[in-house]
């Protein structure tokens, strides 16, 4: 009797155990969203899209791509030096090591945004409830953001792992993919995106802060230019330029970096209470010392009467010396006054000018060049053949885009040498400027050592060990 | 540089003692004296005298002794002659007879009971005759079998209120006897005037004369049997049940409520220091409410939770500071730092604490027991007349020790030398102490800021009583504890405890309910003052000439910190109800329902008047509220049966638990228009940060345990548990854990008694089992999105966690082996225990390549960590006489841990810390090679001509392993002396360990504008004022990172002295007072250490533990 009841009870307990998975169901956390639930309605999905942009726009130094790229690349090229922090001298002296701290965060910052984009593409694609047009557009935005990240990664580091999935089991050990493969993916993503992204700013309440078909075209123009695909570059730039109702060269230099000014093709909302761009590159009126100081060669390269020299360059006097500094971003209070501007109109003119020069359309090239020059209060260029136009474009790019998203650094690295086309323009210019500190291998930043420790499949760039 | 110093300084409390010479004696000989006392056996037989020998009280302590031996002992102790003529069958019997202060008559009763014997005293009153009860000599109380008296019933319980099954109840001088059932219930035919003898193995017998009332109600009520003097058979509370030390197969240490109450501290964990082998506890700060560091048998886990599981009255208790559980923001802390939730348990409500250590004892807790289990049982009402108990005490405390610093003249000398060395001139910006302040005046900052007496007052009133069916206890305690800081800071605790036990008339149904409610209110300065004042330049003036606060020199004025405040409030409600129904004899169905909610809120205020006007003009404040809420349901079936020559007990049960960690709000705000409007953030102009959070944890399991004891000689326990935890991915939630434990009481073997008669008790036991650990963050397996701090023109969310549904339990495999022995009739009990635990499948935040988008995710790593060690415990009864009892307990634990393997270590963040084959918790650093012209030098281990941080073992640099933060050994010695109405209890604690020394806590380079310890100049450091100078660089980059900056933090501490005097009963009887007395208690009275710093326990610049002296009274009506 007793034994029997014991057996029954044991059996009951067994049944209880087998059915108790439900007992430990905790549902989903209440202050976090499980990834799958994000993509069930457009309101939540929209938050994820905004979060992707916000990550791209608002990190901290080293992961905030705009400021980090502008600062690091400006130092690596010949744009100047950092007055306050000798720490940055490793960039200026092209003496980076795989252990240099900010390189690791710069790298991981981009990949974190890429994950966000990949997660969004996967979540949207798998969602049964999101409307198809909404999915298409937001996938286009994610692809655009992914292209932006890979554009900088491939330019800074050369070959990089091309991660296109949020699955860490795949991505954790992925080796580097060739620069060509990465570029092909950038072109593909941009081409995919420009077909589905809106052609009007009305989707975004007139704001220039999210990807449009024009932003995709503009980045595609730059990508094709970097890949020496001249006619595609010119065509894509033309597509953007032919929208005078939307985008135009802003005649007032002091307004070029303001939020939603007419020159902006794609800007990033600043949600911080301060501005990384203004605090790291610019210098506030109350500060005693400057931060980023323009190199003598850059400061000297401005033509007389160049309005940019007075409008976009400030002077900080300290200890009987005048230090020129980049004064493009002036508002340190953050918020919605100035936005970091990834793509703006004058670049499209210069892209088309360069493409046309390479294609032999010198007068068209000179005309585009003059569009930019005239806004700076300069007379038309006298350049009229390939060498002179190339030199004029290099000069114009330097004075137009200094301390802005690494334009100078990336241009120098992709251009062939003027005197010796076998080497790069960077080798010519920077060895002249920096002497023995410059080696050709400095053109690519080292793969962060931390990453190579964790993923042994990552090879190092030449010149670093 | 380092000398042995005694922490007895000219402070108020110490001076109280300095008047007495005995302290001087104690200082020099205390240790030797106490250790000897633990080993010395003083066996003093009670002298016999007087004519009324039969009523004389004697004590006996025999286990499995020969009949003749016991008879001889009674003869010897009573002075009587015992005559008997017995059959060999009786004479050869072995029996157990353990009594304490009972009459000779009682002893004789026990001797004859159940042996068909009777005794009688002859007329000379010198001779006792033992005779057989047979037809010729019927028992006087049982005239004939014809008239059976009516049955009378009762319940046998132990002192803790647990029913005793198998107790024998016999009627004196009769053959009638019975045994109690699993609920302690029995019935026996007895009439008025019969004397019932109630005995139970290991318990003091009780003699009950059946009164007319009892006859009328047919009830004897509840009969409480107390433990016999030998500690072996004390009731030990274990997981879901009880056992005794003798019959236990697991490694369990216990601390009684008495031991807890003796220490005048607010946190029960503090009272456990030095009390239990294998349990290491240290205080983090001397302020009331501060967190305790706890580990059982060392560290099992590299990265996941290291805390033991705490169960209070069957309800799991969250021992992590609540704001670290659910919240995403910790916010600012008060002077005590993170608040230990255990403060919300009133120590005087505690009946006993069990520390479960090995697999046998903890496997039934499955996934939660890997770091050991601490079971806390609160007091319950006892049957008897209603009683009211009152305890009141008051006292004061001071820090145990402060660090001697340079005096003003030495300090100024150092500063001038620094400027001279560097050829620099003092300026107003770098030397206000030399140029601006009055160098003729100095302040004793210790006395000014941590020199006050921390008063404490505690008042407890409890009301308890009941009968065999209903027992109750209602107790309330109020505690007030001040701080050593100037100002109106205090810790106040009110706690209420209610417990009710009810049993149905037939004893088959029982209900027990407990409710504890505690309210804490801790008002502290913001931040520990000790760290803010210890290195102020001695001539630093607190005030400007005009009476305003001085802010020059870049120094945070300590008075400003006193204007800031931290207000901590906590409510703790813990309730448990357990129901029991006896389905069949031996089979009990139970269910235990528990609820616990701890709510903690912290408000920290930085009013404008406390802020340096040169830095900001904004007042600021933080407000946060956090709570944890747990529910637990535990159905259970117990079955007990005598099977063959042994006894089988089986338990099957289940657990379902849910815990919610909630942070309703955490808000930071600035810009209050008025300092008086800061109690709420409503008055703030800007909310700088706000968040709230909610996480949930669920846990379910089924378990079974079978225990079989054969012939009280061979013991076997099997435990199995299947566990599910919501902290793991859906496919990895369930895990199986189990253990097997066995014991062999070899002294119960007949041959053993002949072989080693001196050995009164000997047991070998061993256990093996697996236990898990799920102390990781909730939802770690889910890929989630969280709100991004920066909106992008609209709400933004971003992927906050990468999914890893593949991780599972971290599992420990534990082996435990022990030899338990008792000598000289168990007056010396010695246990030697060896344990080892290997924890693999370590739950670690595993590094990911950043290209994945994340740097880490929760994963299992194959790292294998071994924790092993020895525990020794020695309990002795040094003197046992009627008026004088002296007992001692000594324990020692020698723990070790070692990283056995860690595949891929070099690719993780741990590569710069751990070395395979070495302990974890290691201190790594340079080897200091002395000073060259006052400049520190260290050894270039890898001989590359450079001094590089990083371990030489991993080819990273010139560090070596200096030592470990875990103690090399630790333990305690407690001694209890009872003489008539006096009781003296003494507890020493000792630890052998290495800690960061004072200079790591005061890292300013000598010569800079901060005070230094009084040895800095005599040690020969070259003072400097230039940042980056050779001397400054070497000091901060070599010396402070070298072995020389660590200090031997070993200590021996007179942790507690308690002296109690109970008023004689004859004084109290006229006033109808049950008992009354006075007590004097001291905590942390004396510390012997060579530690270079404040206190070796708290280390750093935390406020040292307080030396407290408390006097009080108790009274029972």
Query: What is the SS3 assignment for A191-226?
Result: HHHHHHCCCCHHHHCCCCCCCCHHHHHHHHHHHHHH
**Per-residue pLDDT tens for A250-292?**
999 999 999 999 999 999 988 776 788 888 888 877 666 788 9
Which of the four pLDDT bands, split at 50, 70 and 90, describes residue B13? very low
Structure tokens at B329: 């923001």
Contact with chain A for residue B726, Cβ under 8 A = yes
Residues of B in contact with A47 (CB under 8 A): 794-797
**Per-residue pLDDT tens for B265-284?**
989 999 999 999 999 999 99
pLDDT the model gives residue B475:
95
Beta-strand ranges (E) seen in B350-489 are 350-356, 373-378, 384-399, 454-466, 470-482
For residue A411, is it within any domain?
yes
| % of chain B at pLDDT higher than 90 | 37
Beta-strand ranges (E) seen in B884-938 are 884-901, 922-925, 928-932, 935-938
Mean of per-residue pLDDT scores for chain B: 84
Q: Which of A16, A47, A272 has its CB closest to that of B795? A: A47
The CA–CA distances, whole Å, from B983 to B220, B229, B391, B880, B980 equal: 33, 17, 17, 14, 8
Least confident of A4-13, B542-551, B612-621, B879-888: A4-13
Region of B741 (left: φ > 0; alpha: ψ -120 to 50; beta: rest) is beta
Minimal CA separation from B662 to chain A, in Å = 10
Structure tokens at A139: 């996938």
Is the Cβ pair A26, B785 closer than 8 Å? Answer: no
**Per-residue pLDDT tens for B435-455?**
889 999 999 999 999 989 999
**Per-residue pLDDT tens for B562-600?**
888 888 899 999 999 999 998 887 889 999 999 999 998
3-class DSSP assignment, residue B88? helix
pLDDT at B139 over 50: no
pLDDT at B332 over 70: no
Is the Cβ pair A116, B855 closer than 8 Å? Answer: no
**Per-residue pLDDT tens for B662-681?**
888 888 888 888 888 888 88
Structure tokens at B449: 């800021």
3-class DSSP assignment, residue B174? coil
Closest by alpha carbon to B903, among B845, B838, B840?
Answer: B840
- Are B351 and B257 in contact by the 8 Å Cβ rule? The answer is yes
- CA–CA gap between residue A238 and residue A245 (Å, rounded): 14
Contact with chain A for residue B1028, Cβ under 8 A = no
pLDDT the model gives residue A8:
63
- CA–CA gap between residue B153 and residue B469 (Å, rounded): 12
For residue A88, is it within any domain?
no
The CA–CA distances, whole Å, from B1026 to A84, B320, B537, B1008 equal: 20, 44, 18, 8
| % of chain B at pLDDT higher than 70 | 90
Contact with chain A for residue B800, Cβ under 8 A = yes
Select, from the ranges B81-95, B168-182, B430-444, the one with the highest average predicted confidence (pLDDT): B430-444
**Per-residue pLDDT tens for A418-454?**
999 999 999 999 999 998 889 999 999 999 988 887 8
Select, from the ranges A25-39, A139-153, B700-714, B874-888, the one with the highest average predicted confidence (pLDDT): A139-153
Which residue from A minimizes the CA distance to B328? Answer: A31
Closest by alpha carbon to A148, among A259, A264, A57?
Answer: A57
Domain total for chain A? Answer: 2
Which residue from B minimizes the CA distance to A167? Answer: B852
Which of the four pLDDT bands, split at 50, 70 and 90, describes residue B526? confident
Give the list of residues 6+ apart from residue B906 with CB closer than 8 angstroms, or none: A453, B954
Contact with chain A for residue B925, Cβ under 8 A = no
Residues of B in contact with A107 (CB under 8 A): 850
Is the Cβ pair B784, A26 closer than 8 Å? Answer: no
Contact with chain A for residue B790, Cβ under 8 A = yes
Interface test with B, best of A23, A102, A119, A335 (most B CBs within 10 A): A23
- Stretch B70-78: mean pLDDT, rounded? 81
Residues of A in contact with B656 (CB under 8 A): 20, 23
- Stretch B527-538: mean pLDDT, rounded? 90
- CA–CA gap between residue A277 and residue A57 (Å, rounded): 11
For residue A416, is it within any domain?
yes
Q: Which of B785, B792, B854 has its CB closest to that of A57? A: B792
- Stretch B843-850: mean pLDDT, rounded? 82
Whether this prediction's pTM lies above 0.80 is answered by no
Which of the four pLDDT bands, split at 50, 70 and 90, describes residue B43? very low
Domain boundary among A123, A158, A174: A174
Contact with chain A for residue B793, Cβ under 8 A = yes
pLDDT at B39 over 90: no
Residues of A in contact with B794 (CB under 8 A): 46-47, 50
Is the Cβ pair A30, B798 closer than 8 Å? Answer: no
Interface of B with A in 857-876 (CB under 8 A): 857
- Stretch B350-378: mean pLDDT, rounded? 90
For residue A223, is it within any domain?
no
B638-641's contacts with Cβ under 8 Å and 24+ in sequence apart are: B638/B182, B638/B241, B638/B587, B638/B588, B638/B590, B639/A2, B639/A6, B639/B586, B639/B587, B639/B588, B640/B165, B640/B182, B640/B586, B641/A2, B641/B586
3-class DSSP assignment, residue A23? helix
Pairing mode, if any, of strands B81-84 and A340-344?
Answer: unpaired
pLDDT at B2 over 50: no
For residue A400, is it within any domain?
yes
Is the Cβ pair B799, A168 closer than 8 Å? Answer: no
Interface of B with A in 324-383 (CB under 8 A): 328
Q: Which of B694, B733, B799 has its CB closest to that of A31? A: B694
pLDDT at B47 over 70: no
Is the Cβ pair B700, A23 closer than 8 Å? Answer: yes
For residue A46, is it within any domain?
yes
- CA–CA gap between residue A257 and residue A250 (Å, rounded): 10
Pairing mode, if any, of strands B219-225 and B151-158?
Answer: parallel
Minimal CA separation from A52 to chain B, in Å = 7
Which of the four pLDDT bands, split at 50, 70 and 90, describes residue B719? very high
Contact with chain A for residue B904, Cβ under 8 A = no
Is the Cβ pair B852, A163 closer than 8 Å? Answer: yes
- CA–CA gap between residue B836 and residue B865 (Å, rounded): 10
Q: Which of B639, B733, B786 has its CB closest to that of A6? A: B639
- What does the buried/exposed string (b/e) look like for B530-542 if buried means 16 or more CB atoms within 10 Å of the residue's CB? bbbbbbbbbbbbb
Q: Looking at residue B466, what DSSP letter applies?
A: E
Is the Cβ pair A26, B906 closer than 8 Å? Answer: no
For residue A381, is it within any domain?
yes
pLDDT the model gives residue A393:
97
- Are B165 and B183 in contact by the 8 Å Cβ rule? The answer is yes
3-class DSSP assignment, residue B448? helix
Is the Cβ pair B792, A108 closer than 8 Å? Answer: no
Which of the four pLDDT bands, split at 50, 70 and 90, describes residue A345? very high
Contact with chain A for residue B665, Cβ under 8 A = no
Residues of A in contact with B847 (CB under 8 A): 454
Q: Which of A108, A116, A272 has its CB closest to that of B798? A: A116
- What number of C-beta contacts closer than 8 Å exist between A and B? 209
Q: Which residue has the tokens 């230039």?
A: B1026
Is the Cβ pair A450, B850 closer than 8 Å? Answer: yes
**Per-residue pLDDT tens for B817-838?**
999 999 988 889 999 999 999 9
- Domain extent at residue A156: 1-75+103-174
Residues of A in contact with B907 (CB under 8 A): 453-454, 456
Q: Which residue has the tokens 């303001």?
A: A258
ipTM: 0.89
Query: Residue B757's Cα: distance from chain center in Å?
Result: 37
3-class DSSP assignment, residue B917? coil
Is the Cβ pair A33, B784 closer than 8 Å? Answer: yes
Which of the four pLDDT bands, split at 50, 70 and 90, describes residue B914? confident
- Are B106 and B74 in contact by the 8 Å Cβ rule? The answer is no
Is the Cβ pair A112, B850 closer than 8 Å? Answer: yes
- CA–CA gap between residue A40 and residue B906 (Å, rounded): 42
3-class DSSP assignment, residue B658? strand
Which residue from A minimizes the CA distance to B639? Answer: A6
Minimal CA separation from B774 to chain A, in Å = 14
pLDDT the model gives residue B82:
81
Is the Cβ pair B783, A35 closer than 8 Å? Answer: yes
Residues of A in contact with B732 (CB under 8 A): none
Interface test with A, best of B655, B852, B954 (most A CBs within 10 A): B852
3-class DSSP assignment, residue B910? helix
- CA–CA gap between residue A120 and residue A55 (Å, rounded): 13
Domain boundary among A159, A174, A189: A174
Structure tokens at A465: 């060990």
CA atoms within 13 A on the CB side of B984: 5
Least confident of A229-238, A384-393, B750-759: B750-759
pLDDT at B46 over 60: no
Region of B113 (left: φ > 0; alpha: ψ -120 to 50; beta: rest) is beta
Is the Cβ pair A17, B791 closer than 8 Å? Answer: no
For residue A451, is it within any domain?
no
Contact with chain A for residue B799, Cβ under 8 A = yes
Is the Cβ pair A171, B857 closer than 8 Å? Answer: no
Which of the four pLDDT bands, split at 50, 70 and 90, describes residue B487? confident
- CA–CA gap between residue B295 and residue B125 (Å, rounded): 60
∠ Cα B862 B867 B868 (to 5°): 140
Structure tokens at B997: 């020394």
Is the Cβ pair A10, B652 closer than 8 Å? Answer: yes
Closest by alpha carbon to B854, among B862, B864, B846?
Answer: B846
Closest by alpha carbon to B1047, among B994, B968, B1102, B1100?
Answer: B994
More confident position, B22 or B1009: B1009
Q: Which of A16, A51, A115 has its CB closest to that of B797? A: A51
Interface of B with A in 431-470 (CB under 8 A): none
């Amino acid at each position: 009797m007793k034994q029997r009841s014991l057996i029954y009870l044991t059996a009951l307990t067994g049944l209880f155990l087998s059915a108790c998975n439900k007992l430990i169901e905790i549902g989903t956390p209440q202050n976090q969203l499980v990834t799958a639930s994000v993509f069930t309605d457009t309101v939540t999905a929209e938050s994820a899209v905004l979060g992707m942009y916000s990550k791209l726009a608002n990190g901290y130094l080293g992961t905030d791509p705009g400021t980090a790229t502008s600062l690091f690349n400006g130092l690596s090229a010949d744009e100047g030096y950092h007055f306050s922090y000798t720490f940055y001298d490793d960039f200026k002296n092209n003496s980076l090591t795989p252990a240099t701290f900010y390189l690791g965060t710069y790298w991981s910052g981009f990949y974190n945004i890429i994950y966000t984009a990949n997660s969004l593409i996967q979540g949207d694609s798998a969602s049964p409830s999101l409307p198809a047009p909404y999915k298409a557009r937001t996938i286009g935005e994610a692809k655009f953001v992914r292209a932006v990240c890979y554009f900088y990664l491939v330019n800074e580091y050369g070959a990089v792992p091309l991660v296109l999935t949020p699955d860490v089991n795949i991505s954790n050990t992925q080796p580097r993919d060739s620069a060509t493969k990465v570029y092909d993916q950038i072109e593909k993503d941009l081409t995919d995106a420009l077909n589905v992204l809106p052609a009007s700013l009305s989707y975004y309440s007139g704001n220039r802060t999210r990807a449009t078909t024009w932003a995709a075209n503009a980045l595609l123009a730059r990508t094709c230019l970097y890949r020496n695909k001249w006619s595609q570059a010119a065509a894509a730039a033309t597509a953007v330029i032919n929208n005078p109702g939307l985008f135009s060269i802003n005649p007032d230099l002091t307004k070029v970096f303001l939020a939603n000014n007419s020159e902006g093709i794609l800007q990033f909302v600043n949600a911080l209470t301060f501005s990384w761009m203004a605090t790291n590159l610019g210098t506030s009126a109350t500060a005693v010392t400057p931060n980023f100081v323009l190199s003598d060669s850059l400061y000297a390269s401005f033509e007389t009467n160049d309005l940019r020299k007075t409008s976009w360059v400030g002077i900080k006097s300290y200890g009987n010396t005048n230090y020129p500094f980049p004064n493009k971003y002036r508002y340190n209070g953050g918020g919605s006054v100035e936005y970091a501007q990834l793509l703006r109109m004058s670049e499209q003119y210069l892209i088309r000018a360069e493409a046309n020069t390479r294609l032999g359309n010198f007068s068209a090239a000179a005309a585009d060049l003059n569009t930019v020059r005239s806004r700076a209060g300069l007379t038309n260029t006298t350049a009229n053949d390939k060498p002179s136009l190339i030199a004029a474009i290099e000069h114009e790019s330097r004075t137009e885009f200094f301390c802005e998203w690494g334009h100078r650094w990336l241009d120098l690295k992709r251009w062939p040498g003027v005197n010796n086309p076998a080497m790069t323009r960077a080798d010519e210019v920077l060895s002249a400027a920096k002497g023995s500190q410059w080696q050709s291998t400095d053109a690519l930043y080292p793969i962060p050592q931390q990453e190579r420790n964790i993923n042994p499949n990552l090879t190092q760039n030449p010149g670093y060990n | 540089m380092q000398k042995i110093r005694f922490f007895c300084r000219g402070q108020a409390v110490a001076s109280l003692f300095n008047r007495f010479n005995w302290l001087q004696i104690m200082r020099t000989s205390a240790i030797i004296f106490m250790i000897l006392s633990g080993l010395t056996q003083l066996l003093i037989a009670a002298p016999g005298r007087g004519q009324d020998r039969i009523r004389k009280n004697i004590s006996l302590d025999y286990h499995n002794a020969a009949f003749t031996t016991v008879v001889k002992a009674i003869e010897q102790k009573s002075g009587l002659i015992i005559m008997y003529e017995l059959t060999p069958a009786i004479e050869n019997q072995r029996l157990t007879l353990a009594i304490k202060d009972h009459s000779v008559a009682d002893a004789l009763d026990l001797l004859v009971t159940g042996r068909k014997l009777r005794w009688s005293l002859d007329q000379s009153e010198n001779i006792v005759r033992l005779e057989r009860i047979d037809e010729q000599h019927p028992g006087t109380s049982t005239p004939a079998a014809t008239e059976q008296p009516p049955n009378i019933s009762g319940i046998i319980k132990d002192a803790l209120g647990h029913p005793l099954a198998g107790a024998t109840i016999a009627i004196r001088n009769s053959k009638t006897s019975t045994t109690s059932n699993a609920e302690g219930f029995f019935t026996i035919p007895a009439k008025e005037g019969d004397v019932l003898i109630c005995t139970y193995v290991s318990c003091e017998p009780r003699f009950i004369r059946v009164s007319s009332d009892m006859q009328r109600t047919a009830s004897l009520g509840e009969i409480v049997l107390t433990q016999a003097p030998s500690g072996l058979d004390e009731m030990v509370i274990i997981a879901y049940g009880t056992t005794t030390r003798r019959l236990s197969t697991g490694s369990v240490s216990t601390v009684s409520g008495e031991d807890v109450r003796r220490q005048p501290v607010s946190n029960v964990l503090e009272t456990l220091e030095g009390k239990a082998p294998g349990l290491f506890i240290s205080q983090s700060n001397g302020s009331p409410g501060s967190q305790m560091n706890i580990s059982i048998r060392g560290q099992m886990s590299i990265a996941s939770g290291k805390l033991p599981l705490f169960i209070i009255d069957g309800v799991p208790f969250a021992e992590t500071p609540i704001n670290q559980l659910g919240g995403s923001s910790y916010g600012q802390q008060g002077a005590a730092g993170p608040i230990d939730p255990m403060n919300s348990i009133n120590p005087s409500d505690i009946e006993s604490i069990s520390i479960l250590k090995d697999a046998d004892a903890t496997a039934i807790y499955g996934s939660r027991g890997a770091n050991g289990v601490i079971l806390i049982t609160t007091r319950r009402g006892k049957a008897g007349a209603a009683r009211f108990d009152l305890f009141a005490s008051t006292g004061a405390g001071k820090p145990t020790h402060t660090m001697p610093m340079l005096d003003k003249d030495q300090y100024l000398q150092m500063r001038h030398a620094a400027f001279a060395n560097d050829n620099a001139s003092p300026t107003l910006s770098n030397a206000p102490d030399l140029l601006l302040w009055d160098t003729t005046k100095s302040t004793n900052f210790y006395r000014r800021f941590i020199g006050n007496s921390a008063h404490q007052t505690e008042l407890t009133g409890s009301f308890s009583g009941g009968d065999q069916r209903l027992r109750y206890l209602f107790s309330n305690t109020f505690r007030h504890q001040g701080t050593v800081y100037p100002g109106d800071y205090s810790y106040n605790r009110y706690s209420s405890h209610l417990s009710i036990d009810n049993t149905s008339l037939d004893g088959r149904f029982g209900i027990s309910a407990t409710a504890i409610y505690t309210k804490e209110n801790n008002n502290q300065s913001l931040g520990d003052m000790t760290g803010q004042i210890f290195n102020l330049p001695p001539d630093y003036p607190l005030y400007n000439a005009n009476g305003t606060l001085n802010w020059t020199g870049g120094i945070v004025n300590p008075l400003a910190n006193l204007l800031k405040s931290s207000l901590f409030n906590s409510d703790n409600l813990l309730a448990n109800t357990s129901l029991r129904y006896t389905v069949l004899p031996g089979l009990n169905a139970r269910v235990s329902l528990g609820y616990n909610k701890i709510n903690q809120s912290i408000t920290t205020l930085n009013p404008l008047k406390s802020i340096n006007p040169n830095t900001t003009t904004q007042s600021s404040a933080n407000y946060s509220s956090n709570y944890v809420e747990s529910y637990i349901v535990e159905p259970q079936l117990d079955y007990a049966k005598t099977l063959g020559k042994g006894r089988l007990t089986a338990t099957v049960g289940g657990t379902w638990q849910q815990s919610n960690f909630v942070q309703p709000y955490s808000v930071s705000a600035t810009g209050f228009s008025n300092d008086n409007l800061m109690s709420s953030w409503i008055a703030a102009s800007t909310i700088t940060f706000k968040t709230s959070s909610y996480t949930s944890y669920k846990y379910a399991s089924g378990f079974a345990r079978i225990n079989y004891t054969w012939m009280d000689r061979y013991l076997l326990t099997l435990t199995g548990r299947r566990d599910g935890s919501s902290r793991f991915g859906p496919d990895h939630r369930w895990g199986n854990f189990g253990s097997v434990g066995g014991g062999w009481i070899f002294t119960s073997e007949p041959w053993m008694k002949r072989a080693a008669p001196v050995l009164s008790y000997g047991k070998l036991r061993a256990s093996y089992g697996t236990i898990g650990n799920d102390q990781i963050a909730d939802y770690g397996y889910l890929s989630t999105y969280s709100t991004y701090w920066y909106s992008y023109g609209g709400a933004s969310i971003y992927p906050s966690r990468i999914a890893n549904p593949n991780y599972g339990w971290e599992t420990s495999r534990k082996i435990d082996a022990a030899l338990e022995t008792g000598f000289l009739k168990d007056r010396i009990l010695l246990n030697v225990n060896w344990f080892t635990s290997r924890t693999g499948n370590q739950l670690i935040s595993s590094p990911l390549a950043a290209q994945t988008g994340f740097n880490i995710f929760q994963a299992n790593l194959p790292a294998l960590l071994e924790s092993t060690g020895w525990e020794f415990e020695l309990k002795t009864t040094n003197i046992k006489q009627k008026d004088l009892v002296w007992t001692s307990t000594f324990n020692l634990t020698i723990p070790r841990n070692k990283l056995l393997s860690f595949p891929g270590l070099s690719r993780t963040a741990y590569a710069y810390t751990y070395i395979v084959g070495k302990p974890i918790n290691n201190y790594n650093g340079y080897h200091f090679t002395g000073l060259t012209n006052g400049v520190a030098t260290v050894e270039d281990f890898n001989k590359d001509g450079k001094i590089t941080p990083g371990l030489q073992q991993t080819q990273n640099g010139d560090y070596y392993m200096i030592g470990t933060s875990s103690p090399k050994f630790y333990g305690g010695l407690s001694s209890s002396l009872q003489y008539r109405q006096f009781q003296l209890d003494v507890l020493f604690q000792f630890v052998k360990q290495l800690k960061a020394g004072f200079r790591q806590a005061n890292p300013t380079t000598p010569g800079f504008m901060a005070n230094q310890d009084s040895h800095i100049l005599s040690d020969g450091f070259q003072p400097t004022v230039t940042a980056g100078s050779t001397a400054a660089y070497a000091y901060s980059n070599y010396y402070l990172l070298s072995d020389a900056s660590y200090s031997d933090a070993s200590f021996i501490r007179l942790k507690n002295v308690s002296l109690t005097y109970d008023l004689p009963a004859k004084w109290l009887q006229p006033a109808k007072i049950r008992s009354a007395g006075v007590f004097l208690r001291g905590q942390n009275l004396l510390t012997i250490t060579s530690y270079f710093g404040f206190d070796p326990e708290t280390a750093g610049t935390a406020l040292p533990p307080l030396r407290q002296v408390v006097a009080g009274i108790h009274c029972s009506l």
